[in-house]
Amino acid sequence: MPYDPLSDDQREIRELIRDLAREKVAPRAHDIDASGEFPWDMVAVLRETDVFALCIPEEFGGTGTGTLMTLVAIEELSKVCATTSLLLAAQELGSLPIRLAGNRAQKQKYLPRMATGELLAAYALTESESGSDSAAMRSEARRDGDHYVINGSKRFITNANVAGIYIVFAKTDPTAGHRGISAFIVEADTPGFEVSRIEEKMGIKGSVTGELYFNDLRVPAENLLGEEGEGFKIAMRVLDHSRPGIAAQGLGLAQGATDYALEYAKTRETMGKPIAQHQLIAGMLADMETKCEAARGLLYKVGMMIDEHAPAADLTKVSAMAKLFCTDVAMEVTTDAVQILGGYGYIKEYPVERMMRDAKITQIYEGTNQIQRLVIAREMLREQRAFLLAGVA
């Protein structure tokens, strides 16, 4: 078995997730993709096995096993079904604003129900005119006595129409740019809340992605996360912690495609021998495996950094690096897996076609990989490296 930094207890949890993925999730992956229907049966499986609890602290009903174990679980589920892995990744994302910025009353009210999976969550930041540029958002929240009144819309929201709560970002001061954004907990049955559109997508077809509208939606002031104007800081802090979840999804897709391509290449024969023994195919498999292993090292590093409460300045860069590298590897490796299977790789009977389609979104959501490169470069420019050049003519 390859070396990994997990403890014996963590490896035991990983084996349980692997068994779950193999026995319960994998047999459903093709049908989930083919039907495009939200997999409530997979939600039930994750509830019954306490998988949702992995991302919640123990004092609020979770397992308290930390971020690294959540990433490992997402990776293992993604090896067989990216849609099912996104159930956990989206729960992680939706819980983070409350975990990082919520007061104790908010945590006690929502986190235990998120740990059991009774309450699914959604993160509503993106708008049709503001994806990478959050300051351009148009949704507004106006204080009215003991409530805020929210008007506006959000687009490309994962878990639209199935989530019980939404973390909604809106401008409490439309003139203040980033500093005017605030964050709110919005329950799905609040009057004035509407899911107006469900998107048809290239991949992760069983995940519901939709457009939200807020029409004079009244939210109790106690549902404000942090203080007014802290929404952008909360959003960026959340993304530093949540982007590794998408990195884990990308890595899982890449490793799952590598494993499938390897088994296929061992049994598919041409010119009198398995194609795995042909140098060009062997070289592709070697590159695929190496990329996965390198990606895993970066992913596990950021998971351990989060669990060890690394400084925010350090986390921002490594989180972006993990998201960038793991998801680029996902696209490269799944494409190579399709190539190794040849014509079979291009048809839906074989899973690598689905894996390739699913991999594409990992380079886009939770910050495009172009944005990750900008973040990494920005952090590099802030670092002091002049000492490395000492004595260089």
The residues annotated with a catalytic role in the active site are 366
Helix 40-48 and helix 26-35, axial crossing angle in degrees, nearest 10:
150
CB 96 within 8 A of CB 122: no
End-to-end CA distance of the chain: 47
CB 62 within 8 A of CB 46: no
Residues in contact with 332: Cβ distance below 8 Å, sequence separation at least 6, in sequence order: 254, 291
CB 253 within 8 A of CB 355: yes
Phi, psi values for residue 362, rounded to 5°? -65, -25
| Distance separating alpha carbons of residues 221 and 389, to the nearest angstrom | 54
Pairing of strands 121-124, 165-171: parallel
Closest CA to 356 of 156, 204, 157: 204
Q: 99 in helix, strand or coil?
A: helix
| Distance separating alpha carbons of residues 253 and 329, to the nearest angstrom | 9
Give me the residue label for tokens 């490793």: 255
Q: 321 in helix, strand or coil?
A: helix
| Torsion, Cα of 303, 309, 315, 318 (10° steps) | -30
| Torsion, Cα of 3, 9, 10, 15 (10° steps) | 90
79 alpha carbon, distance to own chain's centre: 14
Residues in contact with 288: Cβ distance below 8 Å, sequence separation at least 6, in sequence order: 254, 257, 258, 261, 333, 336, 337
| Distance separating alpha carbons of residues 315 and 148, to the nearest angstrom | 33
Paired tokens of 336:
């190579």
Residue 130 carries which DSSP code? B
What is the enclosing helix (H) or strand (E) of 332? Answer: helix 312-341
